[in-house]
Structure 1
């Protein structure tokens, strides 16, 4: 099974890099709920090194990346980097922590971060992230009369994420189906058009260049214009958690390596 292969790859990374992986999950289309039959496995993880590695005046590489092979795309962030980005309400990290497909969770660290994530969540910053993703994919793939129609998902999902943030003020769930169900009226023409396209993708249809889908296309243009105007109304995070995150980091070193450190 691919899950077993992924866990084996993670074990090899631990041995080769002399790290402990605290958390690993799926982050791409498989976690979003619309994989193709040949979709990569986008594995993301958070790791921690031994205490001595952090006791240096030199900046060191704080990511681990592996070349894509056999449908596996694996890379991870050092916990210190992850916590630094967490305090800025980093959407990719927040998505990882709530992924519906988790490969391992070996310490309490991920759950500690989840518990305090509402305190760092910034609706405006996260909406900017999703809006920029939607605009970029729309511009690159969907501007002609003939478009790469599978890319509709890569504009729809971030725009639905914007809609979730506007409505709920919280981090949107990863699952595309759930976002559609919550935000697009079930009996609408738009919902039917999205469902038909999703069924085709899941069935393995080759979704390449085709005439653009009018109803979905109109919706994307409307939503991008809407959020460009209203995003400034979203709240920013209050911040002020640096001391708590320092303690979390030191506590993780203690938990993983069993070393006595003053918190």
Structure 2
């Protein structure tokens, strides 16, 4: 995954001021196209104590810290569990991918419950998240010519299409390329090229697709996502809100009683 082993990553997150309900690896490592010099993106949820929730002095809803270990930049962003659940219920694909990432650094009983409830947060409107993210990355690619935003564009479109069709969240681009017939055959070439450097450009790559082909393929994938959303059997609204509310209350009350939720590496 990276030059850092899981034990080293766990030692980083162990330094946090609040208990972590979970922490996972996101970003290019999750998406299947890390470079040799890629940063490590850690994401998760922390738990504020009750005294920093019910009083006038509120604890931090979001924490963002950066380290360097063995020449690798590690970025950890966590939300307090209440904010995390609010985002989860707002068709936010970022937090959904973080929750369901198979690259787990810290986990525990609450994490397991959240993973089990995640299918109840899915809606057909998650397509809006992936459509918007793809458009943003496509603009970044147009300005830089770099492979990274181009691969992000393909990844988000294919994730959205697969999610609308199957109800399964899949963020790993090489696996998506194997699952979806609409994925261009040249994606493997682009992934392999990006592995050589975080800011490598498409121009000059052997067998690189021509600009007009990229435009045609991306336009077709946008249209496919639109159709997949129209045809999707996913619900209009999330069904897990009540269960997530009950979980939040239960977890928060454990801190009021002075009992931290169990967690394990």
Q: Does residue 213 of the first structure (1) align with residue 209 of the second (2)?
A: yes
What is residue 123 of structure 1 aligned with on the other side? 124
8 Å CA contact 1:120, 1:237 repeated in 2: no
What is residue 28 of structure 2 aligned with on the other side? 29
What is residue 73 of structure 1 aligned with on the other side? 75
Q: Could you tell me the TM-score, scaled by structure 2's length?
A: 0.81
What is residue 87 of structure 2 aligned with on the other side? 85
> Counterpart of 1:152 in 2: which secondary structure?
helix
Q: Once the two structures are superposed, what CA deviation does each residue of 1:65-112 show, in whole Å capped at 9, x if it has no partner?
A: 11464411111010111112222232111111221211111x311111
Following the alignment from structure 2 to structure 1, what is the Cα–Cα distance between the partners of residues 10 and 198?
Answer: 30
Specify which structure has the higher proportion of helix.
Answer: 1
Unaligned runs of 5+ in 2: 260-265
Q: Does residue 97 of the first structure (1) align with residue 93 of the second (2)?
A: no
Between the two proteins, the alignment pairs up a number of residues equal to 247
Cα deviation, residue 233, structure 1: 5.8
What is residue 5 of structure 1 aligned with on the other side? 8
Cα deviation, residue 227, structure 1: 3.6
Following the alignment from structure 1 to structure 2, what is the Cα–Cα distance between the partners of residues 206 and 244?
Answer: 43
Cα deviation, residue 226, structure 1: 4.6
Q: Could you tell me the TM-score, scaled by structure 1's length?
A: 0.81
Distance 1:257 1:40, change over 3 A: farther
What is residue 262 of structure 2 aligned with on the other side? none
What is residue 133 of structure 1 aligned with on the other side? 133
Unaligned runs of 5+ in 1: none
Following the alignment from structure 2 to structure 1, what is the Cα–Cα distance between the partners of residues 241 and 229?
Answer: 27
Q: Does residue 252 of the first structure (1) align with residue 251 of the second (2)?
A: yes
Q: What are the within-5 Å matches in structure 2 for residues 181-200 of structure 1?
A: 181-184=178-181, 190-191=184-185, 193-200=186-193
